């Protein structure tokens, strides 16, 4: 009887550990701060101080849009002329599977924001904008993001062009 009870407790403890680990280290929508379409894990959100996701998303998008508007000619060359650029949060899991992981990295946010770009040949490539809010002295300011680099990815996930950021 005691052995059976011990096995039930041990298996229950293992189940709780597995579920807790998946919650903390897997990007999910179960965060306490709302939907998580940036590919951040619960651990990242906790270490980053549980930011307001809407405000974080707005600041990231504003910095990326501003940079991409300045580099419009570079993107036009790569896409063959006319193109349409739209933020595509649905690509976050694909981007993460390619090894580009958004996170709170030591002292700052390190975010990969995916855009879909429709080209003249009617194929859809991905523009991946790598942003950070790092400041001098190993600090961060979630209100001031800057672009580290922009990568144009083909449908297979290979980098076809890089544009250096600031």
Tokens of 101: 């992981």
Give the contacts of 89 (CB within 8 A, at least 6 positions apart): 37, 38, 114
List, in sequence order, the alpha helices (H) in 26-150.
42-47, 53-70, 72-79, 92-97
pLDDT at residue 78, as a whole number: 65
Q: Dmax over Cα atoms in the chain, in whole Å?
A: 75
For 145, phi then psi, to 5°, come to -90, 150
User: Which of 77, 30, 64 shows the shortest CA–CA distance to 133?
Assistant: 64
Core vs surface per residue 14-26: b (16+ CB within 10 A) or e: eeeeeeeeeeeee
pLDDT tens string for the chain (166 positions)?
Answer: 677 777 767 777 776 776 666 555 555 544 444 446 788 888 888 888 888 888 889 999 999 999 999 988 877 776 666 677 889 888 888 898 898 988 888 889 999 999 988 766 666 788 999 999 988 888 888 889 999 999 998 888 899 889 887 7
């Amino acid at each position: 009887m005691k052995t059976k009870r011990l096995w039930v407790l041990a298996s229950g403890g293992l189940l709780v550990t597995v579920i807790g680990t998946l919650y903390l280290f897997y990007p999910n929508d179960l965060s306490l701060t709302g939907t998580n379409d940036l590919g951040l894990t619960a651990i990242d959100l906790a270490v980053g101080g549980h930011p307001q996701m809407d405000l974080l998303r707005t600041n990231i998008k504003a910095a990326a849009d501003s940079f991409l508007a300045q580099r419009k000619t570079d993107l036009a060359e790569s896409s063959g002329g006319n193109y349409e650029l739209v933020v595509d949060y649905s690509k976050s899991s694909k981007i993460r599977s390619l090894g580009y992981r958004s996170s709170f990295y030591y002292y700052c946010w390190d975010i990969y924001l995916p855009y879909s770009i429709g080209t003249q040949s009617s194929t859809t490539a991905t523009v991946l904008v790598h942003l950070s809010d790092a400041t001098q002295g190993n600090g961060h300011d979630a209100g001031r993001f800057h672009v580290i680099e922009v990568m144009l990815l083909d449908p297979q996930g290979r980098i076809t062009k890089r544009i250096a950021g600031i």
